[in-house]
Amino acid sequence: MTTQTASTEWNATQIFLGRTVLGYWRCSSHHFPRE
């Protein structure tokens, strides 16, 4: 495994986690609206 590969996998992981957290937050905001 090279540094380039590790960096690419890390970037993909961040994007995946970011989308998961964003989707969860949006779903939560719909079920539990904050004022």
Domain around 14: 1-35
Instruction: Please count the CA atoms within 13 angstroms of the CA of 19 that sit on its side-chain side.
Output: 5
What is the chain's pLDDT, residue by residue, as a tens digit (35 residues)? Answer: 677 888 999 999 999 999 999 999 888 887 766 65
Residues 9 and 2: their CA atoms lie apart, in Å, by 11
Specify the pLDDT at position 21: 94
Amino acid identity, residue 26?
Answer: R
User: How many structural domains compose the chain?
Assistant: 1
For residues 24 and 6, what is the distance between their CA atoms, to the nearest angstrom? 27
* pLDDT score for 17: 96
